[in-house]
Structure 1
Amino acid sequence: MNLRPDPTFYPSPKLAMEGPVEKLAFTLMLSPDFSQPDGLAVVNVDPSSDDYCKIVHTVIMPEKGDEFHHFGWNACSSSLSPLTGHAFLERRYLIIPGIRSSRIYVVDVKEPLNAKIHKIIEPEEVFAKTGYSRPHTIHCGPEGIYVSTLGGGGPDGTDGPPGIFIMDCETFDIIGRYEIERGVQDKHYDFWWNLPRDYMVSSEWALPPQFENGLVPEDLLSNKYGHRIHFWNLRNRTNIQTIDLGENHQMALEIRPAHDPVKQHGFCGVVVDTTNLQGAVFTWWRNEDGSFEARKTITIDPQPADPDDLPDLLKGFSAVPPLVTDIDLSMDDRFLYVSCWGTGEMHQYDVSDPMNPKLAGKVEIGGIVKKTKHPNGKDFGYGPQMVEISRDGKRVYWTNSLYSTWDDQFYPGDRGAAMVKADVGEDGGLALDPKFWIDFPKGYRTHQIRLEGGDCSTDSFCYPSV
């Protein structure tokens, strides 16, 4: 343990933006056919280095079939909360859950080029202590590590609803379930919070039978996927309000609150509107009386396409839906990045006015029909997916795989792993870096990215920006 706070912990978003530029990125690699163990790639992102754009170290796991998806830090800027007893932790460990195996790996990255497994938490411990399965999103809170799950108990994960559990941030022991009163919440996906305001927001994707073996068209067309967001009293651990975005707004995924805790609004991405195939982003906000509201503020239209160019799942629609599968908010709360995995586009919106977003930039790469190549001439396989933003907001990184079985439905055949970077203009705008391209080992796909020292979907802050 440190004798002073970790220098990568920042009181405010503005101070985080002024911190050192990242030189390394940590990227998850998954084996879609389970023929190889999944792994963590340490990628050099320092343009002044001879190893720029190279994988400089890998940690390959001992088991197969984990399906790495999302991951996060053991500790972050939330440790500086005045409520915490853990201000002297280090941002040292990455917590990596296997979404399919329910196994959790704790990887020590204090020496990134010698990163190694520190602890393995077997699925039986997760089941026994929480009654949950399919761990998904990791957030470091002031008093522990919060882990969202996509499944309840039982072999198919439908014995009871999924939820959140908490791990000790020093021993990594599982402590237990988060929820005291969950109300109507019966599905789960993402979650995040405003720590000083003492509330949390969570979202919904699906139950395991609706995603593990691929998208279930009948359930989608019957609007049986998640379409609600839930608001919680963070310390009381109770659901205080639920907002239904409309059953046609299927798969409410990423939750991105404003980073500055003074601001009481945020965004939620919706994969598809079943009435028109649009993708959407909702802005949610808190009223003076403590109640919450949400309104659709971004819509992205589908693109007409010849059925012969479409996978079987989409032939009957004669169109490519954008499929909004990830969103991320810059540290200054100015730009929202929206991954359109289906059409092969990364959108950048100016959300300085969160109720009136304006498209500020766009990059085309990949896509079900367009198949736009990278500026270096290489095929980008699928479409823009997990997106991560540098703390200073000048660089945006993303990968291309969504989830193994869904990849195969929307993009049949193995398309290869990819990680790219776009540079951001002073007043917005995006341009792909023609020199930035990461080659990953054969047989792997790539998912979430974490940046050395923290990033825009990791850290939560306890003090306002000045």
Structure 2
Amino acid sequence: MFMHSKRNSIKTLAAAVAAVVALGMATLPTVSQADETSCSPFTPLIKGQEDFVYVWTLGVQGIGDGSDKLVTVDVNPKSKNFGKVIASLSVGGRNEAHHLGLSDDRRYLWGGGLDSSKIFIFDIHSNPAKPKLVKTIDDFVAKSDGIVGPHTFYATPGRMIITGLSNNKDHGGVSANVIYNGKGDYIKTVPVPTTMVGGAQGDGYNYDVAINPRRNAMLSTSFTGWNNYMMDLGKMVKDPEAMKHFGNTTVMWDYKTMKPIKVFNTPGAPLEARWSWAKGDNFAVTTTALTSNIWIFDQDKQGEWQAHNVGTIGNPADIPLPVDISIGNDGKSVWINTFMDGTTRYWDFSDRYHPKEVYTKKIGSQVNMVSQSYDGKRVYFTTSLLGNWDKKGADDEQFLKMYYWDGKELKEGFSIDFYKEKLGRAHHMKFQVRDLKSLQPLRAEADAPDNVRLASLPGDGK
């Protein structure tokens, strides 16, 4: 069972969040991201059967070599190794491994550590079944002018946008988006606004980004700084000052110029940002972790970006803790994971202003990440949230599970116990195929976006 003291800490945190949100200040410690529909629109897309799933895994002292790892799982049902770990690449040390991001040609995979601020670049094209580490960036903080905690890796043509969660001045949540080129060279740091933009006050906090090239729009969300995401939960909830330092905003940007155009008040730490891919759709969705809300962002008749609170996930009083989400390729469904009850929830978004939860399934004692294939027929789940946030004792399950989805029910395809395999805590996932020549551009349909580039940056596309 989840330790009684830990649950009391979560309830204490919920009460504190409710009080702070009432004052217009969001507080929430949770993190989560990864599937084909979360990929950058500039990355080639797997529309058929994925061959491999890469899992970015947190090392645990006393388990295996104790280091963070990139774990490769064979997921092609036709393979003799289906549902088995076929490679494990240790990066040495524990960095608070968190998120992965594919390059714009899907030949490389970037992974970051929220504690060490190191970035690891893997070659996943020479031998997709056995990735190799080709570059380690250990000067991210120095090059970015003090940004700490590389989180999201989001590819654009010749570039990688990296969201930072913190800074080295006070280790708080004020941060920036940091831009590198595809070779791993630093280009530019773009601060998240702390001023009034579009009628609302920016708080400077950062978490995830997602781009809609058709509208030249980029949405960013917010979380918290190193002081909080690396702190013991029980200690943090008893610290009134720490409880004041969580994100409460989302920001809409002009993607081409990387200038913020509007700040939205979205209390409760909005996490993953996802745009609908359906033809004619131009809306994005995010969820707030502790306040358990679903937010939609779209343009009104005057072309102004607006935010709409359209739903509540579970019973906020029960502290479901919404974490990762995955939107269907037609924009009419969203998987939403809730960490505390280990449950995944399927929401019907046919009417995005009035979405409905239509299916739930308990995946384990805890669940964090959800990744679905492009066709939505295969759904993958992993468990780890943060090293200091995962449950304790028997409830500290660490796994990768794959389910088949027929539109009505999830049926388990395979399950891998990462502790039993001595691999550590399973966090973020990305897919790959054996033959990259079979892939199409992410948006190959008639409404494909212009090849929008970051015009304000030097050496564009190189």
Deviation at 1:387, TM superposition (A): 0.6
Specify the alignment match of 1:442 in structure 2. Answer: 422
Which residue among 18, 25, 38 is the counterpart of 2:53?
25
Which residue among 303, 308, 332 is the counterpart of 1:290?
303
Compared with structure 1, are the counterparts of its residues 366 and 126 closer, same or farther at alpha carbon in structure 2 (3 Å cutoff)?
A: same
Specify the alignment match of 1:349 in structure 2. Answer: 347
Deviation at 1:181, TM superposition (A): 6.2
Q: How does 1:274-423 map to 2 (within 5 A)?
A: 279-302=292-315, 320-367=318-365, 383-408=366-391, 411-412=392-393, 415-423=396-404
The SS at the match of 2:215 is coil
The SS at the match of 2:290 is strand
Deviation at 1:402, TM superposition (A): 0.5
Deviation at 1:323, TM superposition (A): 0.5
Where in structure 2 are there 5+ consecutive unaligned residues?
Answer: 1-38, 196-201, 449-462
| Counterpart code for 1:436 | F
Residues in 2 aligned to 1:227 and 1:179: alpha-carbon distance in whole angstroms: 16
The SS at the match of 1:360 is strand
1:135 counterpart = 2:150: yes
Residues in 2 aligned to 1:255 and 1:460: alpha-carbon distance in whole angstroms: 17
Which residue among 239, 260, 265 is the counterpart of 1:244?
265
Deviation at 1:336, TM superposition (A): 0.2
Residues in 2 aligned to 1:141 and 1:302: alpha-carbon distance in whole angstroms: 38
Deviation at 1:262, TM superposition (A): 3.4
- Could you list the per-position Cα deviations for residues 398-426 of structure 1 after superposition, in whole angstroms to 9, with x for gaps in the alignment? 10111110114xx456724201122222x
Compared with structure 1, are the counterparts of its residues 222 and 150 closer, same or farther at alpha carbon in structure 2 (3 Å cutoff)?
A: closer
| Counterpart code for 2:378 | R
Specify the alignment match of 2:108 in structure 1. Answer: 93
Deviation at 1:53, TM superposition (A): 0.8
The SS at the match of 2:129 is helix
Compared with structure 1, are the counterparts of its residues 179 and 300 closer, same or farther at alpha carbon in structure 2 (3 Å cutoff)?
A: closer
Residues in 2 aligned to 1:105 and 1:400: alpha-carbon distance in whole angstroms: 22
Deviation at 1:16, TM superposition (A): 5.2
Compared with structure 1, are the counterparts of its residues 220 and 291 closer, same or farther at alpha carbon in structure 2 (3 Å cutoff)?
A: farther
Q: Assess if the C-alpha contact under 8 Å between 2:405 and 2:411 holds in 1.
A: no
Residues in 1 aligned to 2:243 and 2:56: alpha-carbon distance in whole angstroms: 33
1:177 counterpart = 2:205: no
Specify the alignment match of 1:376 in structure 2. Answer: none
Q: Which has the higher contact order (CA 8 A, sep 6+)?
A: 2
Deviation at 1:365, TM superposition (A): 2.5
Specify the alignment match of 1:313 in structure 2. Answer: none
Compared with structure 1, are the counterparts of its residues 329 and 282 closer, same or farther at alpha carbon in structure 2 (3 Å cutoff)?
A: same
Deviation at 1:343, TM superposition (A): 1.5
Q: Assess if the C-alpha contact under 8 Å between 2:143 and 2:186 holds in 1.
A: no
Which residue among 163, 167, 189 is the counterpart of 1:148?
163
Which residue among 182, 195, 211 is the counterpart of 2:213?
195
Q: How does 1:446-461 map to 2 (within 5 A)?
A: 446-452=426-432, 461=443
Deviation at 1:96, TM superposition (A): 0.7
Q: Assess if the C-alpha contact under 8 Å between 1:11 and 1:461 holds in 2.
A: no
Residues in 2 aligned to 1:182 and 1:461: alpha-carbon distance in whole angstroms: 34
Q: Assess if the C-alpha contact under 8 Å between 2:176 and 2:206 holds in 1.
A: yes
| Counterpart code for 2:254 | N
Q: Assess if the C-alpha contact under 8 Å between 2:74 and 2:82 holds in 1.
A: yes
Specify the alignment match of 2:135 in structure 1. Answer: 119
Moved more, 350-359 or 64-73: 350-359
Q: TM-score under structure 2 normalisation?
A: 0.77
- Could you list the per-position Cα deviations for residues 108-159 of structure 1 after superposition, in whole angstroms to 9, with x for gaps in the alignment? 011122311111111x3442334211100011112411100101223x524x
| Counterpart code for 2:184 | F
The SS at the match of 1:407 is coil
Specify the alignment match of 1:310 in structure 2. Answer: none
Compared with structure 1, are the counterparts of its residues 136 and 432 closer, same or farther at alpha carbon in structure 2 (3 Å cutoff)?
A: same
Deviation at 1:289, TM superposition (A): 2.4
Residues in 1 aligned to 2:241 and 2:394: alpha-carbon distance in whole angstroms: 23
Q: Assess if the C-alpha contact under 8 Å between 2:205 and 2:249 holds in 1.
A: no
Which residue among 74, 78, 96 is the counterpart of 1:48?
78
The SS at the match of 1:362 is strand
Specify the alignment match of 2:409 in structure 1. Answer: 430
Residues in 2 aligned to 1:220 and 1:331: alpha-carbon distance in whole angstroms: 42
- Could you list the per-position Cα deviations for residues 56-84 of structure 1 after superposition, in whole angstroms to 9, with x for gaps in the alignment? 111111x3121111111111xxxxxxxxx
| Counterpart code for 2:404 | D
- Could you list the per-position Cα deviations for residues 352-390 of structure 1 after superposition, in whole angstroms to 9, with x for gaps in the alignment? 2211212232211323xxxxxxxxxxxxxxx22111010
Specify the alignment match of 2:286 in structure 1. Answer: 268
Which residue among 164, 171, 177 is the counterpart of 1:157?
171
Compared with structure 1, are the counterparts of its residues 252 and 181 closer, same or farther at alpha carbon in structure 2 (3 Å cutoff)?
A: closer
| Counterpart code for 1:145 | M
Which residue among 250, 268, 271 is the counterpart of 1:253?
271
Residues in 2 aligned to 1:221 and 1:151: alpha-carbon distance in whole angstroms: 14
Q: Assess if the C-alpha contact under 8 Å between 2:339 and 2:368 holds in 1.
A: yes
- Could you list the per-position Cα deviations for residues 220-277 of structure 1 after superposition, in whole angstroms to 9, with x for gaps in the alignment? 99664212111111112111111112xxx3221111111247322111111112xxxx
Compared with structure 1, are the counterparts of its residues 294 and 393 closer, same or farther at alpha carbon in structure 2 (3 Å cutoff)?
A: same
| Counterpart code for 2:308 | R
| Counterpart code for 1:175 | I
1:230 counterpart = 2:251: yes
Deviation at 1:161, TM superposition (A): 2.4
Identity score, percent? 24
Deviation at 1:177, TM superposition (A): 0.9
Specify the alignment match of 2:453 in structure 1. Answer: none
| Counterpart code for 1:36 | G
Compared with structure 1, are the counterparts of its residues 223 and 205 closer, same or farther at alpha carbon in structure 2 (3 Å cutoff)?
A: same
Residues in 2 aligned to 1:287 and 1:416: alpha-carbon distance in whole angstroms: 44
| Cα-Cα RMSD | 2.8
Deviation at 1:432, TM superposition (A): 3.0
Residues in 2 aligned to 1:437 and 1:292: alpha-carbon distance in whole angstroms: 42
